[in-house]
Amino acid sequence: MSASTAPHVDAEPPARGPARLSERDRRILALEARTYRYVGAKERRIREELGMTPTAYFVRLNALLSDPAALAEAPALVNRLRSLRTRDREERPGLPGPAHAA
């Protein structure tokens, strides 16, 4: 192998620490932490600030609740939302989730 095609021996392997959130995921958590005074204000902010539909936003937010990196980034918010999700699933039969697993 020539010097230009030889692998770099001193290269460090990728970091193996906890997974990091993307900038979009951080923005989702920040937007979710806010309070909104008017009907439709949150949905408008989702479209304007993130360029996402509210449905895509909530699908991603739900996935973030299971992500350890999201828990590390915003523990109070993630734990509060997990609690709400669990309560909703227990109160409304027929929703998929751990409370209704066979």
User: Residue 9: its pLDDT value, please?
Assistant: 46
User: Residue 11: its pLDDT value, please?
Assistant: 46
- Residue 73 CB contacts under 8 Å (≥ 6 apart), including other chains: 21, 26, 29
User: Residue 5: its pLDDT value, please?
Assistant: 53
Report d(CA 72, CA 78) in Å as an integer: 9
Rounded to 5 degrees, what angle do the CA atoms 45, 48, 51 make? 115
pLDDT in 10s for each residue of the chain, 102 residues: 555 555 544 444 444 445 689 999 999 999 999 999 999 999 999 999 999 999 999 999 999 999 999 999 999 999 999 999 999 888 877 666 555 444
User: Residue 13: its pLDDT value, please?
Assistant: 42
Residue whose entry in the numeric block shows the structure tokens 């951080």: 26
